[in-house]
Chains A and B, each alone.
Chain A
Amino acid sequence: MRTLAPTAKGFISLATVGLVTVGFAPFAETISHTTVALAYLLAILFVATLFGSRPALASSVAGALCFNFFFLPPYFTFAVSQGENWVALAAFLVTAVVAGQLSSYARRRADESEARRQEIEQLYSDLREAFAQASQAEALRQSEQMKSALLDAVTHDLRTPLTSIKAAATTLMETGIDLGDESRRDLLAIIDEEAERLNAFIGGIVDLARIEAGQLDLKRSGVPVTEIISRAVERASARLSGREVVIEVPPQTPDVRVDGQSAEEALYSLIENASKYSPDDAPIRLSAIATPTRGVEIIVEDKGRGIAPEDRERIFEKFIRVGRAEIHSTASGLGLGLAIARGLAESMGGSVTAGDGRDGYVTAFTLTLPAAGPTIG
């Protein structure tokens, strides 16, 4: 309505007044003046609301003229015979002008506040869009940072054993120094150990990539918990080198439904981690608890320095080592073991979490595996 040309608005305004006039004119002599005046007022309010103050003013004047010409005696003249009709005409004119102006003013205010609302809405959506863009950029930046941190970690883990290998090899190649047989053998042993460490690191990366890509070939069946524990401990025996390992598995512990090899690998990573981060002579405890809902928990506890509560999730990220690497015995941590353990457990419907140990043990890693349930057949 706001878009109409002023002449069109004026025409419609006058036509509205004309319509009321035509509608009531046949009954001019019988109908009450009040009814006619109210009908005009209604038309004027309609025009005011729709078109604003000027058309409202025009229709007020036109309405007053028509009211006088057609409905106030003597009819069809602009003369007014009785004094009270003058009053009625004047009252009509004043009421029409004021009501018209007021309602057009109210309309204008309503329009203004509508425009303001739209403006705010626009602003809000612009803001939201800008925010979304900013957070997308932030996420991108963070993932770039993450990538470069990962690259740094991989570089460090590859170059550290390479440094020992290169330094040992160049020492052995040196002529004119007397190394002695024992040193020579030790240098060769270091080259061998560090080559093995590089190989294990690369193997770990490949394992992790496989777990993340969901390419594991898992053959799940009922496996006794004691079997998983004894096989993992046996595999870790070189690393545990004579350290006391306490094993506590209640006789009624149910079997777990897992891929035996993957469960053993996950537990081995946890044992390796415990031995790496606790003093060489401190015992490690492996215990099993059957829970009614979650399955069987295998808990690995050590007497290391512990892990701060805020780091207990972070340590499962790839290449993360949390400020306690100084206690490791021979090969330093690769920062992959815990990520692999968790990945394997999760792919079998289980989990790995870190927490506090009990009975004097400081750190506890809990490997939860689904119970096998009643055997069929």
Chain B
Amino acid sequence: MEPKRILMVDDERQITRVLRHSFLAHGYDVRTASDGESALDTIRDFVPDLVITDLQMPEMSGLELCRKIRAVSQIPIIVLSIKGEERIKVAALDAGADDYVTKPFGMDELLARVRAALRRGPAEPVSEESVLTAGDFEIDRSTHRALVRGAEIHLTPKEMELLIYLLTNSGRVLTHRSMLKALWGANAVEQPEYLRVFVGNLRKKIEPDLSAPKYIITEPWVGYRFEPAG
């Protein structure tokens, strides 16, 4: 099997140096870039399976880089950010990043996120098939039936819509803003309380333990992540 290709973008050469050693030892094919412009060039010839980028870079920020990549490609993007940049992190996810890792991080965590992102692959257009299955979930859109761990649950139409949205975006960090926009339209993006209510209701119906949700994971300050296998 051909090794997966990773492009690493950071203006801090020490960090790209470390990650390069680690990724190579794990059998990935790695390229590094120290700024957004050269990253975009590399994407054209190297065609990576995954991009990892820092957010704070001179000239083109990681945020802008996410936007530019998204304009031409759906490859997964993981952003690295110094802790305490919540606002920027959310902006990066809204700009098209799929996940984020806070600096400083342990290599185990980053490697796990890399594996998850590569497993997911590029975001696919929402399938038109009527039956969706992933992990513990099975939804038949035509009959409006949803099964969790084989048992049927009764959902309101909006809860069904929310579950389908989560299922089709499994594993991704979804910001409050992007979820509100997808489910209630652009006018609702400033009303996170809608989301809290519906996520709460949906959790009551699907989570076995409400005190420790395992399917709909809260990403503090940012949004949610759906893990269909729990």
Contacts and interface: CB of A to CB of B under 8 A. Distances in A.
Q: Do the two shown chains form a genuine complex with each other?
A: yes
A116 interface: no
Given A164-B12, A166-B106, A167-B22, A186 B17 contact: yes
A167 B19 contact: yes
Contacts of B17: 164, 186, 190
A332 B11 contact: yes
Interface string A312-340: 00000000000111100011100000000
A194 B12 CA distance: 11
Contacts of B58: 323-326
A325 B11 contact: yes
B124 interface: no
Contact of A167 (B35, B56, B110): B110
Contacts of B13: 330
B123 interface: no
B186 interface: no
A171 to B, nearest CB: 4
Contacts of B57: 326
A156 interface: yes
Nearest to A329: B13
A159 B22 contact: no
B11 A167 contact: no
B35 A168 contact: no
Given A167-B107, A186-B21, A323-B59, A159 B35 contact: no
B18 A160 contact: no
Contacts of A87: none
Given A160-B82, A186-B21, A171 B107 contact: yes
A163 B17 CA distance: 12
A294 to B, nearest CB: 35
Contact of A171 (B21, B59, B82, B84): B21
A330 B12 CA distance: 8
A168 B103 CA distance: 13
A167 B82 contact: no
A170 B21 contact: no
Q: For chain B, give the interface size range.
A: 20 to 34
A159 B15 contact: no
A34 interface: no
A131 to B, nearest CB: 33
A163 B105 contact: yes
A326 B21 contact: no
B25 A168 contact: no
B24 interface: yes
A193 B15 CA distance: 12
A170 B104 CA distance: 11
B12 A160 contact: yes
B11 A155 contact: no
A155 B104 contact: no
B83 interface: yes
Nearest to B80: A163
Given A152-B84, A160-B82, A323-B58, A168 B18 contact: yes
Contacts of B25: 171, 177-180, 183
B74 interface: no
Interface string A134-172: 000000000000000000100110011111111110110
B18 A187 contact: yes
Contacts of B19: 167
B13 to A, nearest CB: 7
Interface in A165-208: 165-168, 170-171, 174, 177-180, 183, 186-187, 190, 193-194
A332 B12 contact: yes
B18 A164 contact: yes
Contacts of A165: 104
A167 B12 contact: no
B35 A170 contact: no
Most A-side CB within 10 Å, residue of B21, B103, B110: B21
A179 B24 CA distance: 8
A160 B18 CA distance: 13
Pairs A-B, 7 closest by C-beta atoms: A163-B104, A164-B14, A170-B107, A166-B104, A163-B103, A183-B21, A170-B106
24 contacts: A155-B84, A160-B12, A160-B82, A162-B104, A163-B15, A163-B103, A163-B105, A164-B17, A164-B18, A166-B104, A167-B107, A167-B110, A171-B22, A171-B107, A177-B26, A179-B21, A187-B18, A190-B14, A190-B17, A323-B59, A326-B58, A326-B59, A330-B13, A332-B12
Interface of B: 11-15, 17-19, 21-22, 24-26, 34-35, 56-59, 82-84, 103-108, 110
